């Protein structure tokens, strides 16, 4: 007997059911990830960290070689401990819900690059931290914070240009008409267009995204091939206008300032906890690199506490960028339509439970965003 084709309503119900299941599994794995990270730091502080320091120490090695090797191995051991969760989260679940197309070998290669890049960054930033710890007995935390601000500023401004090519290939945008429309949109917003590029994601994932990068007035527009496949030109314009809204409202700068304030508090707390724990942890002094897990633990706890606040601020920024895009393009329905399609493509739940949104989500649910855009569209029609 031939099975009847499903109606649109049945398809939407199936997508929503899958999105709900995906969200639950992602929450469980996010909690598991946090527990593994916390457990790793605790195990390190119960003696493994001193053992690792002794392993890389040698009379023939300078202190900075010892620090570098310790930080590198500390980071790689974390990745080894965290690998089962990363495998379930990034490979098994993504393929189970047909979000990922990656074969295991390709996924492993991507993970290897991610691990190596993160280790290099930790070695660089950590070596700078221990330089200040060794040279300045009491003011190290303040100087380390200043160094961290500079380091974070460089990553914030240049990270996209440096790191994206390591993980993703770029290509030319074949649709000349769309390219012209996007260039005109960015120019009308007061920026200069450096280039319009297509990010090649389709070979790995069905997730879709867009971004506008660049220093100063010069901007590079990046649109994934997966996004080009599911959105109409007007919807793509609306999505890019949303990204321009973040730039016009200086959301990146505001979030950066908030992160730097939080990191300042973190360095103050880390200094106090480190001075109090030198003897109990068996460290030779505050500049002993074996105390590094304690510093990481302090920052982990602090960011865990403030994360709901940061999420709330981020969600309000998303609403503000939506409002800018709707007003700037005059096409609130196009952005609303794009959000609905992207939610289905990325398998995002239509609406989130409030606790999930508070603890885990930096974006409002698609339903809330669409509702606000519909109100904006009605207000515009009345005007």
Dist CA 259 CA 271 (whole Å):
18
Among the listed residues 243, 318, 331, 349, the single catalytic one is 243
b/e code 34-72 from CB counts within 10 Å (16+ = b): eebbeebbeebbeebbbebbeebbeeeeeeeebbbbbbb
Q: At 281, list the tokens.
A: 């942890």
Dist CA 106 CA 108 (whole Å):
5
- Selection from 152, 132, 153 nearest residue 271 by Cα: 132
Cβ 258 vs Cβ 309: under 8 Å: no
Residue 223 main-chain phi, psi, to 5 deg: -130, 125
Annotation marks residue 243 as catalytic: yes
Number of H helices, E strands in the chain: 14, 4
Judge residue 160's burial from the number of C-beta atoms within 10 Å of its C-beta, 0-12 exposed, 13-18 middle, 19 or more buried.
middle
Residues taking part in catalysis? 243
């Amino acid at each position: 007997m031939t099975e009847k084709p499903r109606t649109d309503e049945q398809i939407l119900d199936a997508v929503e059911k899958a999105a709900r299941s995906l969200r639950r599994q992602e929450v469980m794995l996010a909690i598991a990830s946090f527990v593994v990270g916390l457990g790793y730091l605790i195990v390190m502080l119960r003696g493994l960290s001193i053992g690792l320091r002794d392993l890389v120490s040698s009379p023939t090695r300078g202190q900075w070689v010892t620090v570098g090797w310790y930080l590198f191995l500390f980071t790689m051991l974390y990745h080894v401990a965290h690998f089962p969760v990363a495998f379930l989260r990034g490979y098994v679940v993504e393929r189970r819900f047909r979000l990922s197309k990656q074969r295991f070998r390709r996924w492993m290669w991507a993970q290897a690059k991610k691990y190596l890049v993160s280790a290099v960054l930790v070695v660089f930033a950590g070596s700078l931290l221990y330089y200040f710890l060794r040279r300045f007995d009491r003011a190290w935390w303040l100087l380390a914070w200043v160094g961290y601000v500079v380091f974070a500023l460089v990553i914030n401004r240049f990270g996209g240009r440096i790191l994206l090519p390591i993980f993703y290939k770029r290509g030319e945008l074949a649709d000349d008409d769309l390219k012209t429309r996007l260039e005109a949109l960015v120019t009308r917003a007061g920026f200069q267009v450096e280039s319009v590029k297509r990010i090649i994601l389709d070979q790995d994932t069905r997730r879709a995204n867009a971004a506008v990068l660049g220093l100063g007035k010069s901007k590079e527009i990046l649109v994934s091939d997966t996004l080009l496949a599911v959105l109409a030109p007007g919807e793509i314009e609306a999505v890019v206008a949303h990204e321009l809204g973040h730039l016009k409202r200086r959301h990146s700068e505001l979030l950066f300032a908030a992160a730097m304030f939080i990191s300042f508090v973190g360095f103050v707390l880390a200094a106090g906890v480190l001075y109090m724990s030198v003897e109990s942890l068996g460290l030779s002094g505050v500049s002993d690199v074996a105390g590094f897990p304690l510093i990481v633990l302090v920052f982990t706890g602090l960011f865990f506490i403030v994360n709901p606040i940061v999420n709330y601020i981020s969600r309000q920024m998303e609403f503000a960028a939506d409002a800018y895009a709707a007003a700037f393009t005059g096409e609130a329905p196009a952005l609303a339509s794009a959000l609905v399609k992207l939610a289905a493509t990325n398998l995002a739940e239509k609406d989130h439970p409030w606790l999930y949104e508070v603890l885990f989500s930096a974006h409002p649910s698609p339903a809330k965003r669409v509702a606000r855009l519909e109100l904006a569209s009605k207000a515009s029609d009345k005007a």
